[in-house]
Structure 1
Amino acid sequence: MSVARSSVSAAVPRERGEAPLLRGPSLSALRIPSHWPSQHSLFAAAIQQASRARLLGVKLLPDDPESLRRFDTSNFGLLAAYTYPQATRERLEVCNDWHAWLFFFDDIADEVSEVGQRPAHLEQLMVACVEVLRGAPLRAGATALEHYTLDIRERLRRFASDAWLARFADDVDLYLFRGTLPAAQHWASGTVPDFDAYYSQRALDSAVFTALDLIEITEEGRELPEGVLIQDDLLRMRELSTRVVALSNDLFSYEKEVLWHHNPNNLVHMLQVHLSMSLEDAVAEAIQVINTDVERFLACEGRLTQSGWLDDARVAYYVEGMKSWMRGNVTWSLVSGRYCSRTSPFPEMRHP
């Protein structure tokens, strides 16, 4: 489906708004199987504090009460603990630091208008960070985010092969230049992407492909064999699980991104603008899209089982990791201070 772009101002108030409490569709309508992994690692609190100290050390996290409160209530450590439940302590720490990197960069691109609405300026920062991940030294006058990137790269090198590091850097490159940059261009121009463009953009802009890569380094000996990386069903499962996480996030972040920061890159908002849907109908449609992707994921898993690929413990571990991400993202989002608020349109998230 292709729909012409529309102006963001058509549906979004220009001052921080509040959506009415939804009476119709509920987040409980998301059909992400309850038997999928939902227990978090016992290292959740420890890695949260470790990442906090590291972020303060590179001065990426400001040392003021409001910034620290926001970081603490977001509880990124709990997300890593849910999404990589089997990871060892040191490996889970670097996964959580990457998540923190993504959320800090996301806030720069989505909320700081002097950066997010200047795509050329944002692109310079992207280039610098990708070059560091690929092994380049820090440039003169490197930002705090670049210093944090270097720290993450050096720690990843202890756990991963050169081939994995190259794949990871490639996925970060796609996330930044084919996901985040187009999203920033929409924000700068005040346009809402059409359906075809958005689904492709959002999968990359979510950075979930990079997060799925990390499944392979959470325990020793879990990197995927080269042959499976081109297996059609596994590649499709990567795409589907990424979409499930990304589009679920569009529900959880609707108030934060659309109503508070007037960012047009959101599935619910796109449905409201292009199809003239009410908020209730747009949420119901978004949930149906997500549920359909879950069903497609399960169908691919069935074919992967029949083909014998799941007999390889590394492949089976990776598939369980994708399930942990889809399930854990929902569980964490429903309690994280990053998305929950007293004014959320979703009853399940209307708490401080």
Structure 2
Amino acid sequence: FPDFISYCDYPLRINPSGPDVAKASEQWLLDGAPLSERKRKAFLGLKSGDLSAMCYPDVEADRLRVVADYMNYLFKLDDWSDEFEADEIHVMRDCVMGCLEDPVGFATEEPVGLLTKSFFSRFVKTGGPGCRQRFIDTMELFFRAVTQQALDRINDDIPDLESYIALRRDTSGCKPCFALIEYAAGIDLPDEVVNHRSIKILEDAANDLVSWSNDIFSFNVEQARGDTHNSVIIVMNEEGLDIQAAIDHVGSLCFATLNTFARVRASLPSWGPDVDADVEKYVMGLQDWIIGSLHWSFLTQRYFGKNGEEVKKTLTVALLPKKAAQQTPAPQAEVQQSEVQQEAESKSAPADGSNPVLSDAPGGLLTAIWGMFGAAFRRATFSSHRLS
């Protein structure tokens, strides 16, 4: 694997309230969406609470709890969407979006709806109106994108790189998480900041780094079970590269993205002292997401089982054998590595951070997938209606 952490010298900061909040949030999810014992162990091995503590290190405990609940919920949403047909995702979307638009008056008894109302009713008590609307809007984009991903899965379609770029920026889950940076910091950025080209570039760069690095870390598990929505797999397919060359190529895009983030951050305009202070908090939140997600990737058991610390040191894993097409994929935490080592050299960043695929235009950076834990239980329909 490329050595992103050594190249990215941002300090890892961890919220001191993290352990207590993580425990309470995990129980919240398990109470709202009961899992089998095997799935429960896989969920706890995900360590989503640690991700929240690493990416939101300064927020007070009450707000961190809302963030942690959403992070657990997001993993569960992705789990459901991986199981469902496109029309079922649409019904789930109607339930979730109804709860977000009206967390008090929208009536539903579905687990996904009750979970949505639970965390978002707490969000709206202190979240600013602009922050709230950005969260809702980006969740809508998420559902549109995962619906398309479901259609690709059903049709066994491997998207071309440009289609994948557009799709994964919304399936990554980063956009609503970035709205939570505002919520966590107690700020509500004005429209002239939110819509500024430089801010859009910074958001895209953080989104892309989180997503592309995750594609690399999750590649081994995903190639073994036949998944195709992964940048490494797409580059292999389009460019005719072997595994190592494709990983190196995606890694170079990640390094260039880090360079873009640093360059644009250093040349931000001023909106006045008060707004600039809020912008600084927001950009720091993007930085925390970049470095926090990198460290969390080796802490969670999702990608490397219990060997994360060793992989973090060696940057090398054994290539897993492909599973038979008829098999149901086991949770990654239970997958054993094969004995055939696939050596991965750490690649240094391009000297100037440039890459022909990348640009400073919003949407020009490549994005990828958040790897989530394996499928849990399936609900065929979500019934919901508004109170009269």
- Bigger Cα displacement from structure 2, 308-317 vs 151-160: 308-317
Task: Report the counterpart of residue 119 of structure 2 in structure 1.
Answer: 152
Structure 2: distance between partners of 1:277 and 1:343? 28
Q: After TM superposition, give the deviation of residue 32 of structure 1 in Å.
A: 5.0
For residues 104-183 of structure 1, what are the structure 2 equivalents within 5 Å? 104-110=76-82, 112=83, 115=84, 118-135=85-102, 137-140=105-108, 142-177=109-144, 179-183=145-149
Q: Does the aligned pair in 1 maintain the 2:26–2:72 contact within 8 Å?
A: no
Q: Does the aligned pair in 1 maintain the 2:5–2:294 contact within 8 Å?
A: no
Q: After TM superposition, give the deviation of residue 258 of structure 1 in Å.
A: 3.4
Q: Does the aligned pair in 1 maintain the 2:210–2:293 contact within 8 Å?
A: yes
Structure 1 residue corresponding to 2:2, chosen from 5, 22, 27: 27
User: Where does the alignment leave 5 or more consecutive residues of structure 1 unmatched?
Assistant: 1-25
Task: Report the counterpart of residue 264 of structure 2 in structure 1.
Answer: 300
Q: In the alignment, residue 202 of structure 2 is paired with which amino acid?
A: M
Structure 2: distance between partners of 1:50 and 1:214? 19
Q: Is 1:283 aligned to residue 250 of structure 2?
A: no
Q: Does the aligned pair in 2 maintain the 1:244–1:294 contact within 8 Å?
A: yes
Superposed CA deviations along residues 52-97 of structure 1, whole A, max 9, x for unmatched, are: 2211322x142x4322321221111100000001011010111111
Structure 2 residue corresponding to 1:186, chosen from 129, 142, 152: 152
Q: Secondary structure at the match of 1:158?
A: helix
Q: After TM superposition, give the deviation of residue 188 of structure 1 in Å.
A: 1.0
- Bigger Cα displacement from structure 2, 335-344 vs 226-235: 335-344
Superposed CA deviations along residues 18-70 of structure 1, whole A, max 9, x for unmatched, are: xxxxxxxx231567522x23121112211111112211322x142x4322321
Q: After TM superposition, give the deviation of residue 255 of structure 1 in Å.
A: 2.8
Q: Does the aligned pair in 1 maintain the 2:97–2:136 contact within 8 Å?
A: yes
Superposed CA deviations along residues 149-208 of structure 1, whole A, max 9, x for unmatched, are: 11111010112123321221001101111x211111111111111111111111111010
Relative to structure 1, the CA distance from residue 327 to residue 214 in structure 2 (aligned partners, 3 Å threshold; closer, same or farther) is same
Runs of 4+ in 1 over 3 A off after TM superposition: 29-32, 136-140, 346-352
Superposed CA deviations along residues 254-310 of structure 1, whole A, max 9, x for unmatched, are: 2333322x2211101111112121110110001011111111111211220xx2359
- Over aligned residues, Cα RMSD in angstroms? 2.3
Structure 2: distance between partners of 1:264 and 1:207? 18
Superposed CA deviations along residues 129-154 of structure 1, whole A, max 9, x for unmatched, are: 112111164455x4211110111110
Q: Does the aligned pair in 2 maintain the 1:37–1:323 contact within 8 Å?
A: no
Q: Secondary structure at the match of 1:303?
A: coil
Q: Does the aligned pair in 1 maintain the 2:89–2:143 contact within 8 Å?
A: no
Superposed CA deviations along residues 214-244 of structure 1, whole A, max 9, x for unmatched, are: 0111133x22133211211011111111111
Structure 2: distance between partners of 1:71 and 1:194? 32
Q: Does the aligned pair in 1 maintain the 2:231–2:250 contact within 8 Å?
A: yes
Q: Does the aligned pair in 2 maintain the 1:27–1:348 contact within 8 Å?
A: yes
Q: Does the aligned pair in 2 maintain the 1:37–1:320 contact within 8 Å?
A: no
Structure 1: distance between partners of 2:7 and 2:158? 28
Structure 1 residue corresponding to 2:40, chosen from 40, 57, 68: 68
Structure 2 residue corresponding to 1:214, chosen from 155, 176, 180: 180
Q: Does the aligned pair in 2 maintain the 1:109–1:180 contact within 8 Å?
A: yes
Structure 2: distance between partners of 1:93 and 1:105? 18
Superposed CA deviations along residues 2-33 of structure 1, whole A, max 9, x for unmatched, are: xxxxxxxxxxxxxxxxxxxxxxxx23156752
Q: Does the aligned pair in 2 maintain the 1:245–1:325 contact within 8 Å?
A: yes
For residues 1-352 of structure 1, what are the structure 2 equivalents within 5 Å? 26-29=1-4, 33-34=8-9, 36-58=10-32, 60-62=33-35, 64-110=36-82, 112=83, 115=84, 118-135=85-102, 137-140=105-108, 142-177=109-144, 179-220=145-186, 222-260=187-225, 262-304=226-268, 307-309=269-271, 311=273, 312-341=276-305, 348=315
Q: Secondary structure at the match of 1:27?
A: coil
Relative to structure 1, the CA distance from residue 232 to residue 160 in structure 2 (aligned partners, 3 Å threshold; closer, same or farther) is same
Structure 1: distance between partners of 2:142 and 2:38? 29
Relative to structure 1, the CA distance from residue 182 to residue 41 in structure 2 (aligned partners, 3 Å threshold; closer, same or farther) is same
Tell me the TM-score normalised to structure 2 length. 0.76
Structure 1: distance between partners of 2:156 and 2:52? 33
Tell me the TM-score normalised to structure 1 length. 0.83
Relative to structure 1, the CA distance from residue 204 to residue 287 in structure 2 (aligned partners, 3 Å threshold; closer, same or farther) is same
User: Where does the alignment leave 5 or more consecutive residues of structure 2 unmatched?
Assistant: 319-332, 334-388
Work out the number of aligned pairs and report it: 313
Structure richer in helix, relative to its length: 1
Q: In the alignment, residue 173 of structure 1 is paired with which amino acid?
A: E
